[in-house]
Structure 1
Amino acid sequence: MTAPTAPTAPAPAGLTTGALARRLGVSPTTIRSWERRYGIGPAHRAPGRHRRWEPEDVAVLEEMCRLTARGVNPAEAARTALAAGSGPGSGSDSGSGSGPERSTARTGTASGGNTLPVGTVRPECRGLARAAVRLDAPEVARILRRSVDELGAVVAWTEVMTPALRAAGRKWVAEGERYVEVEHLLSWHVAAALRRVADRPEPLPGPAVLLAGMPSELHALPLEALAAALAERGLPFRMFGPAMPPEALLEAVRRTGPPAVLLWSQVTRTADRALVERVVRTAWGPQGARTQPVVLVAGPGWAGPRRPPGTLRPRDLATAVDHLEALLR
């Protein structure tokens, strides 16, 4: 008979402080500071071992991150998070008061890395970047909805969405594939928040401007932001999205007779000047009363002193909206 083997020690459960910091998008020092000042710490500690954060502990810290991102001071955020969750001394089980939003964030396993360096930005942008790193989809959606509703599409795009998107792009370029999931999550929710404003149940009256990306241009979010800003002002538009084929673009201009056409290019290689000149020359209407559109070229792809002849080049989203409103009014 074979002698029984000695039982192996069970693997330690829970997250280390470093792993938890990466998941939440904060520094380990911040977590230790919160634990020391506000009593937000692991409910169970084994003597002689590193701290291990169980799911209920993580849920409390996730709520702490959400509240501080919304502008709640840390002391009040800690009291609220402990009362709502299952932190030390709360007297509740791990499921009480969690709700669908917390459950979604707690069960996710991808960490997303450390923080997104967004620089000096609005608090909403900092909160958005932290939520994106945590892959906290409900919080990302909430921040974006509130930003658009309270600030308007132009300010929300310029001061909240764009800095966070740029930081996510810089991060995954520097770190490799590790941060692609953060950018994808953020981009999808940005598009959803903008589309929520741009989609109207009833068509807006009057002639509509035409919005499209150049044939090789795959970036659509700036066009989504422009559509949302136009919808806020009650200005009609037709959105054709990115990568509009040349002949389809020209045919759309001929068929719809827009007073203005805005063409987006994110990088210089997608800025097709010859095609823009063809759009400028495209006319419609009866003989003797034919009309041509005003063409706006927008985006970094058109940078440089020489823009296509017969076009306008707005410097930013707000200017583009003002130009289009003036043409429509």
Structure 2
Amino acid sequence: MPPAQPDAPAPSDVPAPSDASGRPQGPTSLPAAALSTGAVARRLGVSPTTLRSWERRYAIGPARREDGRHRRWTPADIGRLELMCRLTAQGVPPSEAARAALDAAAGGSGEARPATVTPGGSAALPLGEVRAECRGLARAAVRLDAPAVEHLLDTALAELGPVVAWEEVIAPTLHAVGRKWASAGERYVEVEHLLSWHVSGALRRMRPAPRRYEVPPVLLACAPLEQHSLAVEALAAALGERGLPVLMFGPALPAEALREAVRRTGPRAVVLWAQSTATADHALARAVAGIEWGPHGARGHSVLLAAGPGWGPGVSGPRVERLFGLRSGLVVIERITSAPAPRATAAGPATPDACGS
């Protein structure tokens, strides 16, 4: 799916002609470009409600409006807002940040206040070339603007779907926070925690589609020592969107609890997530793949899908497969769930022919 483009700028009017004395005739021209409130909100990483609140409280709204039409923000208007956002991200109260941004725009004394602010702000996350939604989410997270983070996440998931939203908006922002945290010592841990909390909540708020067909569930869990579960939460949301039943057990599921859950539910596939080599339990993966369940004579087994960078290239074993990424992982899981259920025979367990990575 191609990246969504921001709202198209409003075309500028043709400059009014002049008479012989040089005075303009007719209406004066409008600014060359103007964005809607929604487009500006996405760009800055704030909610439209926040922009309207700032306009009412601090008079930092568009310098010009057209009668009977929505607000249109020019580059100069957006520049004031960007400066205000950078200042609030550094802890400046909104009222003071608004005054400084307005003074700077007017060439007043307020320009000296943000003189130490570098383009993008010293708190800006290292994002590179990303979607506008990603940049807005990063700005909101750095400001610790929880309502804006929640709004931007819900909007991205609703408009883009869980796969694109995860791969092109959420994951790049999480990775950027991690890089910033790694380079800044203990700083930005609060940003990571706030963002992770709201990502988890937004993914769980997604309503699953009706089941397409009755199949055993896909069991999702993290390895016993693994505390990071956002990736499997994104997988749960994506499977739910496709109408596939999911059993989510979240982070740090004890080994025996995982084995017991497999025996009791008979899942078609078990996804076991490990983010680091320290949490990847290869012996557990092979043991879960070897579990058989069901009545004698009609026993079945699950396919163990090792997901996450912690497993490395060496994970292997009968009925153990590797998942690489959300999008390709969905293809593997859908293929497994659409195939006939694998059954163990007297000659030994059958390996399903629908696996792959």
Q: Tell me whether the two structures share a fold, i.e. TM-score over 0.5.
A: yes
Matching residue of 1:275: 284
Q: How many angstroms apart in 1 are the aligned matches of 2:37 and 2:178?
A: 23
Matching residue of 2:224: 215
* 8 Å Cα contact 1:115-1:130 kept in structure 2: yes
Q: How many angstroms apart in 1 are the aligned matches of 2:195 and 2:336?
A: 33
* 8 Å Cα contact 2:272-2:306 kept in structure 1: yes
Matching residue of 2:126: 117
Deviant stretches of 4+, over 4 Å: 64-67, 79-83, 88-91, 105-113, 198-205
* Higher percent of residues as helix: 1
Matching residue of 2:8: none
Amino acid at match of 1:187: S
* 8 Å Cα contact 2:88-2:143 kept in structure 1: no
Q: How many angstroms apart in 2 are the aligned matches of 1:284 and 1:183?
A: 40
Change in Cα spacing, 1:110 to 1:247, as seen in structure 2 (3 Å) is farther
Q: Which of 49, 58, 65 does residue 86 from structure 1 map onto?
A: 58
Alpha-carbon offset, residue 268 of structure 1:
0.9
Kindly report which structure 2 residues correspond to 1:1-329, keeping only aligned pairs within 5 A, or say none.
Answer: 68-71=40-43, 83-87=55-59, 110=91, 114-197=123-206, 205-329=214-338
Alpha-carbon offset, residue 110 of structure 1:
4.7
Amino acid at match of 1:181: E
* 8 Å Cα contact 2:272-2:307 kept in structure 1: yes
In structure 2, stretches of 5+ residues that fail to align are: 1-35, 45-50, 64-84, 93-120, 339-357
Matching residue of 2:15: none
Amino acid at match of 1:68: V
Amino acid at match of 1:170: R
* 8 Å Cα contact 2:235-2:326 kept in structure 1: yes
Amino acid at match of 1:260: A
Change in Cα spacing, 1:109 to 1:205, as seen in structure 2 (3 Å) is farther
RCO higher in 1 or 2 (8 Å CA, sep ≥ 6)?
A: 1
In structure 1, stretches of 5+ residues that fail to align are: 1-63, 73-78, 92-104
Q: How many angstroms apart in 1 are the aligned matches of 2:157 and 2:89?
A: 27
Amino acid at match of 2:296: Q
Q: Would you say how many aligned residue pairs link Structure 1 and Structure 2?
A: 247
* 8 Å Cα contact 1:66-1:139 kept in structure 2: no
Q: What is the TM-score when the length of structure 1 is the normalising length?
A: 0.67
Q: What is the TM-score when the length of structure 2 is the normalising length?
A: 0.62
Deviations 1:260-285 (A, max 9, x none): 11110100111111111111110011
